[in-house]
Structure 1
Amino acid sequence: MQRFSARSFAALATIGTLVLTGCGTESGDPEAEAVSVSAGRTIRAQKFMQLTQVHSETGMTLLEGPTFGKDGGLFVVDVTAPEGKPKVMRVDVGKRTSRAVHTDGRGAYTSAQFSPYDGRLYLSDFAHGEVVSLAPGGGDKRTFFSGEVDGAQMNPDDIAFDQEGNLYVSDSRGLSEGEAHGRVVRISRDGAKATVLAKELAAPNGVSFDADHRGLWFSELTENRISYLRLDAKGKVTSRHTAILVDGGIAQTDSIAVDADGNLYQGLHGRAAMAVYDRYGERLATVELPARTEGLESATNVAITPGGTRAYMTVSGPAGGYLYSFDALAKGIRQSNGG
């Protein structure tokens, strides 16, 4: 999830009480090119379609959590959408249209993932420390997890599932104070047990399993680094190390997705671009928007078509919320849906 400035927190406060003191449907431009890849290490993404405009109620729009459903629809959340505007949308990428799936007067949803266990769509509510779920097509909202973990409420940012349906959450607790109180938390698939896997983290954001489900990648926004947790078959940590230091300049590490070759797609807050690394930390490419694109400030996340290489990146800023598309370096898998 793109991180919240002071203005962003104020905007979110208008749609729900924050623990921290982070429209409509439009069809895309039919003339926009779908994909263009330049030579060398730059991948040039092209505008696919606009999904949202800046909301007058909150002063911003912020797209996140692109994830493909079994029906082929691409589900996207708008973190700062006010009550009555779509907080979850389904995009038909073939027709370049979108429709509202869910809205409410409470949630500030920062990520979305479908569970391999029950097939429901799970959403993290950053503002209220909850994880909720919806029926695959929307509706039937249920609270999956709420409350404290080891004596402290979460600010759940991104989410990822293991193969059994247990949920892994990046908890950005401590962000507003600038304190390293963040955590990575594992929640059992029935929502009954929450376990801290890593703590004293600097605003953890992106989280994704590697291609083999042997370990978990997570990024820390205020340290611009990606770490790796090796896990055993029961989800317990066997080792942890800093894996990649991201040279982002004024930009910061946002969400993470992983393709079938194990490459990492690291979103950037403060720059409408993504950095792509292999599993050994070599920077393979940078995904950029076309030259002279204005009003777009962050590329939060990406989803790669399951079994294909077409990628859809969520990009936001004063110009609105957009999907940009490009050719990924390898095929999409479950971990390619940016949680």
Structure 2
Amino acid sequence: MADNNVQVWEVTEPYLDLHCLLGEGPFYEEATHSLRFVDICQKRIHTVDLAAGPSSLNTLELDSTVSVTGDIEGIDPREKIVVGLKYGLAVLDRKTGQYEYLQRFSNSADVTKSSKPVDYERIRGNDGAADPHGRFWLGSMTDFNLGDFQPEGALFVVDAGGKASTLIRPDLTIPNALGFSPDNRTMYFTHTVDNAVYAFDYDPTSGDLSNERVLYKHTGPGSPDGFRVDVEGNIWHAFYGSAQVLKISHKDGSILGEIRLPTNNITCTQFVGTELFITTAADEEGEGGETSKKYGGAVFRVDVGVKGQPLFKYKLNA
């Protein structure tokens, strides 16, 4: 990137040298000033008290892949949170490790939208987030160890209260992160295999989507993975396979900044104040070099001088 208007941050050391296989889903737990994140492959939820530092790391291991977490409105996150699991969206008791599904992908309305029948044993939950209406959007994709990823995934939304879920977009391969503009009138969504970040008009009354367009089309190395939106509306997007996070303008999709990291597979970002925490996945083959192999799966942080948008909470009692 030769553009002198692009701000660059260099990160050389990890905050948590954890060696996740697939670190993902960083979430700031404001009530406890903690960072939660998952290791999808190892079925783990990690939590670190940010005041106490890395030595406070606590790990909960489940019997299901866990891909994303969210807070529940009115409930202490130390007690229960919402989680994306193998078969759909569930409520997790953090004290016992037990969970109960709110909605399974297979039970969603409009599943017939898919171009062919979906074998729900073949898919798992991926990224997602709560929206301004307290609903939870969750993507699904081909599970591990089934060969190449197929267009058998989808994007679902689970109603507040968990009474129903609806298939919004079928025939997706890797539906990834989604987020909202500061005025809650635009929803952003990344489909990794399209190398694109899409923008939709989001109706603040109904929550309906319209006016789909491409905000950003990636033409460089790596693939777009997870992102967060800052208070100015710009998108801080992780790129798997290219050791970077890009700051993308919400106005025209131009690149405003680049965070360079010492490992190859960057998965997602999360703001805590003006610090950006960044999860990564293992680089077991050392495709990014020995340093990349050494730090693959670690968590990094860097002060980028701007705060992030608070994440919404799921409304369980709607």
Q: TM-score normalised to the size of structure 2?
A: 0.78
Match of 1:157 in 2: 126
Match of 1:190 in 2: 161
Answer whether contact 2:28 2:270 (CA < 8 A) is retained: yes
Match of 2:41 among 60, 80, 88: 80
Q: Any idea what SS the aligned residue of 1:190 has?
A: helix
Answer whether contact 2:87 2:104 (CA < 8 A) is retained: yes
Alignment partners' CA distance in 1, 2:243 and 2:28: 22
Match of 2:15 among 49, 54, 61: 49
Answer whether contact 2:235 2:249 (CA < 8 A) is retained: yes
Match of 1:246 in 2: 218
Answer whether contact 1:315 1:323 (CA < 8 A) is retained: yes
Change (3 A) 1:181 1:160: same
Deviation at 1:257, TM superposition (A): 0.9
Alignment partners' CA distance in 2, 1:271 and 1:138: 38
After superposition, give the CA deviation of every residue in 1:256-310 in whole Å (9 maximum; x if it has no partner). Answer: 2111111111111112211110112121111112xxx4xx3211011101xx201
Match of 1:71 in 2: 32
Q: Any idea what SS the aligned residue of 2:13 has?
A: strand
Across the aligned residues of Structure 1 and Structure 2, the Cα RMSD in angstroms comes to 2.8
> What letter is aligned with 1:310?
E
Answer whether contact 1:173 1:183 (CA < 8 A) is retained: no
Answer whether contact 1:209 1:335 (CA < 8 A) is retained: no
Alignment partners' CA distance in 2, 1:39 and 1:243: 20
Is 2:264 the partner of 1:288?
Answer: no
Answer whether contact 1:63 1:316 (CA < 8 A) is retained: yes
The within-5 A match list for 1:137-286 is: 139-148=97-106, 149=108, 150-151=111-112, 152=118, 153=120, 155-172=124-141, 179-232=150-203, 233-249=205-221, 251-280=222-251, 281-286=253-258
Change (3 A) 1:326 1:190: same
Identity of aligned residues (%): 18
Match of 1:301 among 262, 268, 271: 268
The within-5 A match list for 1:20-39 is: none
Deviation at 1:239, TM superposition (A): 2.2
Alignment partners' CA distance in 1, 2:152 and 2:74: 30
Answer whether contact 2:5 2:256 (CA < 8 A) is retained: no
Alignment partners' CA distance in 2, 1:71 and 1:94: 9
Match of 1:6 in 2: none
Alignment partners' CA distance in 2, 1:133 and 1:101: 17
Is 2:278 the partner of 1:313?
Answer: yes
Answer whether contact 2:48 2:58 (CA < 8 A) is retained: no
